Amino acid sequence: MGNNEKKIQEAYQNAREQFGSSGVDTEKAIDCLSRIPISLHCWQGDDVTGFERSSELTGGILATGNYPGKARNADELRADIEKAFSLIPGKHRVNLHAIYAEAPRRVERNELSQEHFSRWIDWAKSHGYGLDFNPTCFSHPKSASGFTLTHSDSSIRNFWIEHCIVCRRIGAFMGQSLGTPCVVNIWIPDGYKDTPADRKSPRDRLRDSLDRILSEKLDRRYILDSVEGKLFGIGTESYVAGSFEFYFGYAVTRKILLCLDTGHFHPTETIADKISSVLQWLDGVLLHISRGIRWDSDHVVVFSDELLAIAQEIVRGEYLPRVKIGLDYFDASINRIAAWVIGMRAVQKALLVALLEPVNLLKEMEYKGDFSGRLALQEHSKNLPYNAVWDYYCLIKGVPPGLSWLEEVRAYERNVLSKRSL
C-alpha cells in the first residue's frame, strides 16, 4: 500500500467514527452509492453533432466553444466514453440520441432500426453498460419550422410520429439485449418566439401524436417511456407546447415517466421540491441534471447547493428505486472528457453526502417540533468529513481520488485527442 493510499484509509477510518456518532453507517452509504447508475449523455463528446453529417444544430440547441479533439465518429466517441468511465467510480449507463446511428448510407429517421445501433449494443454488453435512448426531433429539414409532433401539416407530423415509434422499438430491443430497461425519453422543441394566438391547438396535436406513439404496447421489462417538458428556449421564448404542466398531466394519465430537467424551469426554481410532489402521482421520474446560468445553457454540472438539495430529496424520501438519473449538458469550451468526469463525479458526491446525512436524527427532531435542534444539526453536518469517504470510495473502486484524475485526461489529450483533425 502506497503512502497516499494509507492516508486515505486512515482518514476514512476517522470519518467512519465521526459519522457513526450520529448514527450514520458509512459502509452502508458506500454500498448504496455503488448501486446507483447514472446515465452518461453521449452528446457531450461531440457537441450534439451525431453521425448524419447533414444538418446544423437547430431547435434552440447550441454548443459554445471549439475545444480541439472532439469525437468524429462512433469509435472515437466510444473510446472517449470508456476513458471517462475509467475515471468515474461505479458502473453506469450511456444515453444515446437517434442521430448517433451507424449506417453505411444515410437512413431517414423514420426508417431507423435496431441494426443501426448494433455496434452500440455489442459495445455496451461487452462493458456491462446499460443504454438509454432518445428520438432526435431537431436538427433536421423537417424540423426547420420549429414544429415536429405539433406541426399543423399532418405529413410532417406523421414523419416525427413514425420516428418516435421506431425509436421506442429500438429502445425496447436495447433493453431486452442488455437485460436492463432502456429509458426512452421524448423531448421536442416546438413553440413560438412571440406570443401565439392559439395555445390550444398545438397541445391538442401533441397529445394525439403522443397517444399514437405510445399505442404500441412494449414490454416494460425492456422499455420505460418518458416525456420531457420545458419552460422556454432560444426561439421559443413566449410559448412551448410541451410545458411542465402538459407533460405532468400526460405522464400521470398515461402512467409513464416524467423527465425533470434542471435547466428547463425558471432560473429561481429548483426541482428538489418538485420530486416529492410529482411522485405522489407518478410511479417514477427521470432526472436530466444540467446547470443553467440565467437560462437553459447546459453548463457542466458542479457540486452546488441545488444539486445537493436534489440528492437529499431523493435520499430523504427513499425515492432511489423510483428515480432514474442522467446528465444533459454540452460544453465545447473545455476538454469534453473532463466535462463528463466533473459532472458525473459531482452528482455522485452529492448523492454520497445525502446518503451520509443523519436523516433519522433530523426527522426525529422535526417530528418532535425541535426545529432549533434540526437547524443546529444541519449546520453541524456540513463540517463532517465527506471528502474522506469520497476518496475512500474512489480508492476501493479503482479510480483516481481527489484531482489526480485530471492528469490522466491531459495525458489522453496529448496522446489521442491532439492527433484528431476535423
Residue 295: is its pLDDT beyond 80?
no
Question: Which of the residues 142, 230, 324, 349 is marked catalytic?
Answer: 230
Residue 54: is its pLDDT beyond 80?
no
Query: 328 catalytic, yes or no?
Result: yes
Query: 261 catalytic, yes or no?
Result: yes
Residue ranges per domain, the chain? 37-346
Banded model confidence at residue 188, pLDDT cuts 50, 70, 90: very high
Banded model confidence at residue 276, pLDDT cuts 50, 70, 90: very high
Query: 140 catalytic, yes or no?
Result: no
Question: Can you give the pLDDT at residue 300?
Answer: 96
- The per-residue b/e assignment along 6-24, b for 16 or more CB within 10 angstroms, e otherwise, is eebbebbeebbeebeebeb
Q: What is the mean pLDDT of residues 257-284?
A: 94
Question: Which of the residues 70, 140, 264, 349 is marked catalytic?
Answer: 264
Query: 288 catalytic, yes or no?
Result: yes
Residue 1: is its pLDDT beyond 60?
no
Residue 278: is its pLDDT beyond 80?
yes
Residue range 37-346 forms a domain whose CATH class is alpha beta
Query: 230 catalytic, yes or no?
Result: yes
Return the C-alpha torsion angle 297, 301, 304, 309, nearest 10: 90
Residue 55: is its pLDDT beyond 70?
no
Question: Which of the residues 46, 47, 52, 228 is marked catalytic?
Answer: 228
Query: 264 catalytic, yes or no?
Result: yes
Q: What single-letter amino acid sits at 47?
A: D
Question: Can you give the pLDDT at residue 234?
Answer: 86
Banded model confidence at residue 58, pLDDT cuts 50, 70, 90: confident
Q: 318 CB contacts (<8 Å, ≥6 apart)? A: none
Neighbours of 252 (CB within 10 A): 15
* Mean per-residue pLDDT of the chain: 95
pTM more than 0.85: yes
Question: Which of the residues 43, 187, 390, 405 is marked catalytic?
Answer: 187
Residue 256: is its pLDDT beyond 70?
yes
pLDDT in tens, 309-352: 999 999 999 999 999 999 999 999 999 999 999 999 999 999 99
Q: What is the mean pLDDT of residues 143-151?
A: 95
Nearest to 285 by CA among 137, 168, 185, 189: 185
Query: 160 catalytic, yes or no?
Result: no
Question: Which of the residues 46, 52, 328, 391 is marked catalytic?
Answer: 328
pLDDT in tens, 79-133: 999 999 999 999 999 999 999 999 988 899 999 999 999 999 999 999 999 999 9
Question: Which of the residues 225, 296, 313, 391 is marked catalytic?
Answer: 296
Question: Which of the residues 288, 299, 324, 349 is marked catalytic?
Answer: 288
Q: What is the mean pLDDT of residues 169-190?
A: 98
Question: Which of the residues 47, 261, 391, 413 is marked catalytic?
Answer: 261
Question: Which of the residues 52, 132, 225, 298 is marked catalytic?
Answer: 298
Residue 422: is its pLDDT beyond 70?
no
Query: 187 catalytic, yes or no?
Result: yes
Query: 349 catalytic, yes or no?
Result: no
